[in-house]
Amino acid sequence: MKKEFIEKIQSRGYWRINFQPLVDEEKIKSLGDCSSIVEKHNVQLRGWNYPHFPRRKGDDAGLEPMNNYYQGWIDWNNHKEFWRMYQSGQYLHYLALREDWAEFSGWGITENQPYKAGEKLSIVGTIYQITEIFEFLSRLATEGIYDEGIQLSLSLKNTENRKLHLDDPMRGPLWEDYKTTIKDIDFTEKYTKEDLITKPHEIAIEVIIYFFDRFGWHKPPIDTFKKDQDNLLNRRF
């Protein structure tokens, strides 16, 4: 993976996701297991898995062993991401906002194109994304990597002047513009293994509310978020 690829992701909006074990020791004995654990537990609920596990190697994708971690990456259409799984159990993921790369989505640009880089954040897409992150984290916890708990750091980068966007034509419009002036929205929390395994979806809803709150949406329809989440988890689209 070229160094310039990370800079490419950082040039627009992106998620930075980090799982950090609360103890400093080697949790994954074999380097190869760093790859196989991600492959085993990646979440496949919609058309694109989380995190994406590359099945081929080329100019736009790869899976690479490093000194004490494995990394996977892809730069295809509006899917741009890379992840690292360390033998320490740390997981790091840079995930580009697909909204910001709409011109590469494969569908082309139209007069009614809903997304331009830096302008909007998909409400439903955010609900799906955060739910997938916690579902993946919950699955990793079953491997015994986070028996002592973890610190989760989740950041949404390059958000200044971005507005929430409801991209479901079957729903009524938002009553007002929900917009943030924050450049980077950061969330950090510690969780026990039990929490991660028994209630990852409930925690995900709490984190979703946290991020939307930073856009000025202080009383969102939480029951609707739960329905969206349930639709994702049960593949009802």
Q: Give tens-digit pLDDT for 125-166.
A: 999 999 999 999 999 999 999 999 999 999 999 999 999 999
Mean predicted confidence (pLDDT) in 40-57 = 94
The answer to whether residues 99 and 126 touch, using CB atoms and an 8 Å cutoff, is: no
Is the residue at 97 inside a domain?
A: yes
DSSP calls for 54-110? -SS-BTTEEEEE-SSEEEEEEEETTEEEEEEEETTS-EEEEEE-GGGGGGGSSS---
Helices (H), the chain: 3-10, 31-41, 123-141, 193-198, 200-213, 222-233
Q: How far apart are CA 25 and CA 7, in angstroms?
A: 30
Q: How far apart are CA 98 and CA 119, in angstroms?
A: 12
Q: How far apart are CA 26 and CA 15, in angstroms?
A: 26
Is the residue at 4 inside a domain?
A: no
- pLDDT higher for 111 or 200? 200
Is the residue at 22 inside a domain?
A: yes
User: How does pLDDT run across 180-211, given as a tens digit for each residue?
Assistant: 999 999 999 999 999 999 999 999 999 999 99
User: How does pLDDT run across 2-13, given as a tens digit for each residue?
Assistant: 889 999 999 999
Is the residue at 206 inside a domain?
A: yes
Which range marks the domain in which residue 149 is found? Answer: 16-233
Is the residue at 2 inside a domain?
A: no
Is 70 exceeded by the pLDDT of residue 107?
no
Return the pLDDT at 174: 87
Count the domains in the chain: 1
Return the pLDDT at 105: 72
Is 80 exceeded by the pLDDT of residue 170?
no
Return the pLDDT at 109: 46
